[in-house]
A and B are shown apart, each in its own frame.
Chain A
Amino acid sequence: MCSKINKQIVVFTIGLFLLFSPTVLMGQDNVEVRGEKERWSSANSLYAQGNYSGALDEYLLLEKQGYISWPLYYNIANSYFKTQNYGRSILYYQRALKLNPSGNDIRVNLNYAKQFTVDKIDEVPEFILVTWIRDFNYLLSSDYWTIISIVFSILVALLLLNFRYGPSARVRKVSFFLSMLSLLFVIVSTIFAWNQRSAFHREDSAIVMNAVATIRNSPDNSGATLFILHEGAKLEIIEELGGWKRIELTDGRQGWIATEDIEII
């Protein structure tokens, strides 16, 4: 009698997992406030009319209310671009890209906005495999990778049970291989999901916000000037000391920059 109930529960939960769509899963801490939709659409129509600064104010108000979503960041970036504030525009494109690394529109606009910046920093070419793996990782967002990993872990569990209690030796053999394969998928998708999440939470890159920022060789104003960066340049943060940050460019040069000159993505 007891075993029957167990079986029912198992079937029910598996069904639930399969039925649940990602949006439902993600919607768990989704706070819908009346007015936010109206604000969003009014900002969009202001943008369509060409009143970019008006639209920007509305978008920024939404951001101030604590809403986080890549279309919001993307639209803020577009508004900044239209009001010729290229540095902030790049900052928000980068933020949108962090949330939605596979966003093609974001990438296109970011590359376009980069043309309006002064600094051209050579990037050290990356090992092609790393690029491929990263591109593959960013084909899907972290949430989708998480869902994939959950689905595959359910599969692993079921296949393992089948392996142990399967009716024939052949079935057991196949189940074993399939379960190992699924386990591999679980590991890969979990790593991808984790990687994206940690990349988002890592505050290791920043955009220069001042028109001109001086990079010194020591964290004080008396340090010798190593080089000068302009608005919109991207840099990596290595460490922090007082009001100064040690940064590195993509071409490998390092130096110290005042914290107020930059904005962390």
Chain B
Amino acid sequence: MRYIERFAKKVHFKRVVLFTLFFAVASVAVAQTTFTAQAPRVVEVGETFRLVFTSNGEPSSFNPPSITGLDVLAGPTSSTMSSTKIINGKRTESFQVSYTYILQANKEGKYKIPSASVVIDGKNYSSSVVNIEVVKTDSDKSKESNEKGSATVTNQDIFMKISISKGRVVTGEHFIATIKLYTRVPVAGFEDVRFPSFNGFWSQEIETPQNIDFIRENVNGQIYNSALLKKYLLLPQQSGSITIDAAELVCQVQIRANNSASRSIFDDFFDSYQTLRKRVYSSPVTVKVDPLPSGAPSSFNGAVGTFKMSGKLSKDSVNANEALSLIIDIHGAGNINLIEAPKPEIPASFELYDTKITDSSNKGAGGASGSKKFEYPLIARAPGEYSILPVLFTYYDIAKKEYVTLSTNEFKIKVGDATGVNSSSSGLPLGVNQQAVRSIADDIRYIHSGRPLFKRGNVFLFGSQIYFVILALIFVFYLLLEKFLSKRVQRNRDVAGVRSRKANKIARVRLKSAGQLLNEGLYSAFYEELHRAVLGYISDKLNLSLSDLSRDKIEELLISRGVKEENIAQLLSLIEQCEYARYAPDLGGDNMDKNYSKALDLISSMEL
């Protein structure tokens, strides 16, 4: 163990020297004077160790610290180191002065070495306070391992640990996972390093040391050299108990070959080491992730932390076809790198191009913080005054345990007429740029909101009772009309019947006019009218033309129709008198009355 420790110390010292050298060079390059103190953080009782104050300038005086509780075995011894490098013609110089103390601790406890100070170029520089923890010597263990010669490395000697900053988080809340290697044996190198995949998390390495530096650390009273391997910023993406699986690596552990059988004289002078491959696992860690409470506003898209938002337009008045941009700036701490661009409602007469996202957040031990800028490039296409509704952004506040919605102001844009640059440059009349009407979203059409006719049962008119009733009615009315019309036609066809039926009527009309003539005392006209009435009556009744009417024929036909002899004789005498009177002069007034009444009697009495 002693050898091992010595070796470890040697390695450590070498690293310190290298590091300080490198540091000195770097600091000269940037021309900054530094003064630092270095000592192991943890030492054992009785162990001798170094305390080194380093300066990269030439101090004119050194004011040593007052060291209490620790024995100063030697020091301060100063050493000076300077180097000049010319690389590609570039000359760099480095200069270093160090003051070294050799100290020993006698008692357990925590010791504080106050700051030392130097004066360089008239300026006073002081180092930081150094804390040193002194722990009890693990005598049993070192003895045991000494006796055994320890060709094995136990899990106590070297182990790996994943520590998380929070054990219980909500979805999207950040925490830090640190993977550290603890060793009490010298490690020459690593192989086959496997870090956890962090399933269920969004992960980002926030600190990955270039060199693996071992720092002494007190773990349960034991001194270990610990090295930070990786540091991750984790953001849970799902809820529930999520296990971070184990990290593993193979360490090339150097142990001293302790082969007593083949012990030669050289072995006393040269330590012979053998490299042992030791696979080291960390134990898996479980994180409890609570889901976010329900009732998130629609503008929430997973932001957790505390944020502020501001928004502005690059210009608030433009001409048509000119570009402007809406800039939304979200800053704060939380899962800022996972924040999605809020969706502003841009009026349709603007063309919206791809959002430019500038993420200027930095991820540190305190989670991601900084700002994220969303730039929405817009091109105004039509003149007018427009307003963009306030942009909403919702995050979940871990401290307040509630959703907080931020809102920008309403943006007003004035778009003027397009300037004539395009038309004049092209020399062609600038036509209207026709575009197809874009469908923004697609959905079913709205419900029918008017009152419908609610029906039950047979919904069709066709084939229903009423349909057949109507058809039957049409048919029946057709038949009735048909019958009625055909009867009328039949009757119209019977000309003689019509004549005979109309005879009485016509005769009466003529007699009436004859009666008028009688009253006026127009002798021949009266007889003419009377004659016509009687003859017309006869010809209508017997269906004969006037030219066919002769005395004999009338007599014959009337007899055949069964008219009384007496009536026939009267009729014939009346006709005779009328014919006579038409061509003869007036004989006396009383005959006219007599003949008129005779004609009336005859027409009404003769039943034909």
Contact = CB atoms under 8 A, between A and B. Distances in A.
Contact of B451 (A37, A68, A157, A190): A37
A108 interface: yes
B478 to A, nearest CB: 4
A26 B455 contact: yes
Interface string A23-40: 101111111110011001
Nearest to B446: A78
B430 interface: no
A147 B461 contact: yes
A3 interface: yes
A71 interface: yes
A30 B464 CA distance: 13
B478 A157 contact: yes
B576 to A, nearest CB: 43
A161 B447 CA distance: 50
Interface in A28-84: 28-33, 36-37, 40-41, 44, 47, 62, 66-72, 74-75, 78-79, 81-82
Contacts of B463: 194, 197
Given A28-B466, A78-B444, A44 B459 contact: no
A105 B484 contact: no
Given A67-B456, A78-B447, A146 B485 contact: no
Interface stretch (A6-14, A130-138, A230-238): A6-14
Contacts of B343: none
A153 B474 contact: yes
Nearest to A145: B462
Interface in A209-233: none
A40 B453 CA distance: 11
A165 interface: yes
Interface in B441-471: 442-464, 466-467, 470-471
Contact of B462 (A66, A108, A154, A194): A194
Contact of A68 (B455, B462, B475): B455
A193 interface: yes
A78 B447 CA distance: 7
A22 B460 CA distance: 12
Contacts of A197: 460, 462-463
Contacts of B464: 28
Give the secondary structure class of A's interface: helix
B481 interface: yes
Contacts of B488: 3, 165
A67 B466 contact: no
A75 B467 contact: no
A177 interface: no
B482 interface: yes
A71 B478 contact: no
A143 B461 contact: yes
A249 interface: no
B473 interface: yes
B428 interface: no
A150 interface: yes
A44 B447 contact: yes
Interface string B339-361: 00000000000000000000000
A36 B454 contact: yes
B449 A44 contact: yes
Of the four ranges (under 10, 10 to 19, 20 to 34, 35 or more), the interface on chain B belongs to: 35 or more
A207 interface: no
Contacts of B457: 29, 66
Contacts of B454: 30-33, 36, 62, 67-69, 72
Contacts of B482: 161, 164
Nearest to A112: B444
A161 B478 contact: yes
Contact of B478 (A28, A40, A109, A160): A160
B450, B466, B470, B487, most chain A CB atoms within 10 A: B470
Interface string B478-513: 101110111111000000000000000000000000
B266 interface: no
A147 B451 CA distance: 23
Interface in A170-193: 190, 193
B460, B464, B485, B486, most chain A CB atoms within 10 A: B460
A74 B455 contact: no
Contact of A72 (B442, B452, B461): B452
A69 B455 contact: yes
B471 A26 contact: no
B477 interface: yes
B481 A31 contact: no
A99 interface: yes
A245 to B, nearest CB: 25
B444 A13 contact: no
Contacts of A79: 447
A72 B486 CA distance: 53
A66 B449 CA distance: 19
A31 B452 CA distance: 13
Nearest to B463: A197
Contacts of B445: 78, 105, 108-109
Contact of A113 (B444, B477, B484): B444
B2 to A, nearest CB: 75
A3 B71 CA distance: 148
Contact of A6 (B460, B461, B473, B480): B480
A79 B477 CA distance: 50
Interface of B: 442-464, 466-467, 470-471, 473-475, 477-478, 480-482, 484-489
21 contacts: A6-B481, A7-B484, A9-B477, A14-B477, A26-B455, A67-B455, A68-B459, A69-B452, A71-B450, A71-B452, A78-B445, A78-B446, A105-B445, A112-B444, A142-B462, A146-B467, A150-B467, A150-B470, A157-B481, A194-B463, A197-B462
Interface of A: 3, 6-7, 9-10, 13-14, 17, 22-23, 25-33, 36-37, 40-41, 44, 47, 62, 66-72, 74-75, 78-79, 81-82, 99, 105, 108-109, 112-113, 142-143, 145-147, 150, 153-154, 157, 160-161, 164-165, 190, 193-194, 196-197, 200
5 tightest CB-CB pairs across the interface, nearest first?
A: A71-B448, A71-B452, A193-B462, A69-B452, A146-B462
